[in-house]
Structure 1
Amino acid sequence: MTARTLPARRVFGVIGGLGPLAGADVLFKLIQASPVRTDAEHFDVVFEQHPFRNASASRAATTERKLYIFDMIRDFEKRGVTTVLLPCFLSHTFMGELQENVSVQIVDMVDALHEYVMRCFPSVRRVGVLTSDYIRDERLFERYFGAPEFEVLHPARSAVGGVDFVTEAVYGDGGIKSGRFEGKPVELLREACLDLIAQGAELILPGMTEIGLVVDRIGTLCVPIVDSNLVYAQYAVAGQCVSRERGFKVGVVGGVGPAATVDFMQKLVRSTPATRDQEHIKLLVEQNPQIPDRTDNLLGDGPDPTVSLYATCKKLEAGDVDIIAIPCNTAHAFVERIQPYLNVPIVNMLTVSVEYLRAAFPDLREVGLLATTGTIMSGVYRKALEAHGLRQVVPSDGLQARVMNAIYGEHGVKAGFLAGECIGDVTAAVDELSECGVEVILLGCTELPLLLPEGKMYSGGGGVVNLVDPTEILARRCVAYARGEIGLANALIDSAKDACTR
Structure 2
Amino acid sequence: MKKFFTILGGMGTQATESYIHQLNKRTDAHKDQDYFNYILVNHATVPDRTNFIVDPDNNESPLTPLAEDIEQQSKLKPDFFTLPCNTAHFFFEKLQSLTDIPILHMPNLTVEAIKNQFPNAKRVGLIATNGTLKDGVYDKPIKAAGYELVMPTQEIAKETMELIYQDVKEQDWVDGDLYHHILDQMVNDLNCDVVILGCTEISVAEERAGSADYPVIDAQIELVNETIRLAKASQTK
Per-residue CA deviation, residues 351-407 of structure 1 (Å, 9 max, x unaligned), is 111111122222211111110011011111011111111122122101211111111
The corresponding residue for 2:187 is 434
1:316 to 63, 68, 73: 73
1:254 to 1, 5, 9: 9
Percent of pairs with identical residues: 27
Q: Which has the higher contact order (CA 8 A, sep 6+)?
A: 2
Q: Tell me, in whole angstroms, the C-alpha distance in 2 between the residues paired with 1:279 and 1:319.
A: 22
Q: Tell me, in whole angstroms, the C-alpha distance in 2 between the residues paired with 1:374 and 1:302.
A: 13
CA-CA distance at 1:471 after TM superposition: 1.0
Q: Tell me, in whole angstroms, the C-alpha distance in 2 between the residues paired with 1:417 and 1:282.
A: 27
TM-score by length of 2: 0.91
The amino acid that maps onto 2:182 is A
CA-CA distance at 1:428 after TM superposition: 2.2
The amino acid that maps onto 1:270 is K
TM-score by length of 1: 0.44
Structure with the largest fraction of helix: 2
The corresponding residue for 1:217 is none
Kindly indicate whether the alpha-carbon contact (under 8 Å) linking 1:252 and 1:325 is maintained by their aligned counterparts in 2. yes
CA-CA distance at 1:454 after TM superposition: 9.1
Q: Say whether 1:263 aligns with 2:12.
A: no
The corresponding residue for 1:234 is none
Three-state SS of the structure 1 residue aligned to 2:126 is strand
Per-residue CA deviation, residues 418-472 of structure 1 (Å, 9 max, x unaligned), is 24xx4343322211111122131111100112212399744xxxxx521221111
Per-residue CA deviation, residues 27-86 of structure 1 (Å, 9 max, x unaligned), is xxxxxxxxxxxxxxxxxxxxxxxxxxxxxxxxxxxxxxxxxxxxxxxxxxxxxxxxxxxx
Q: Say whether 1:371 aligns with 2:128.
A: yes
Kindly indicate whether the alpha-carbon contact (under 8 Å) linking 2:129 and 2:199 is maintained by their aligned counterparts in 1. yes
1:212-291 equivalence runs, <5 A: 247-291=2-46
Q: Tell me, in whole angstroms, the C-alpha distance in 1 between the residues paired with 2:112 and 2:227.
A: 14
Q: Tell me, in whole angstroms, the C-alpha distance in 1 between the residues paired with 2:62 and 2:163.
A: 23
Unaligned residue ranges in structure 2 (runs of 5+): none
CA RMSD of aligned residues (A): 2.2
Higher Cα radius of gyration: 1
The corresponding residue for 2:178 is 425
Kindly indicate whether the alpha-carbon contact (under 8 Å) linking 2:184 and 2:214 is maintained by their aligned counterparts in 1. no
The corresponding residue for 1:294 is 49
The corresponding residue for 1:337 is 94
The corresponding residue for 1:450 is 204
Q: Say whether 1:483 aligns with 2:235.
A: no
1:46-445 equivalence runs, <5 A: 101=1, 247-300=2-55, 301-409=58-166, 412-419=167-174, 422-435=175-188, 436-445=190-199
Q: Tell me, in whole angstroms, the C-alpha distance in 2 between the residues paired with 1:255 and 1:453.
A: 18
Unaligned residue ranges in structure 1 (runs of 5+): 1-100, 102-246, 459-463, 489-502
Q: Tell me, in whole angstroms, the C-alpha distance in 2 between the residues paired with 1:336 and 1:448.
A: 24
The amino acid that maps onto 1:341 is L
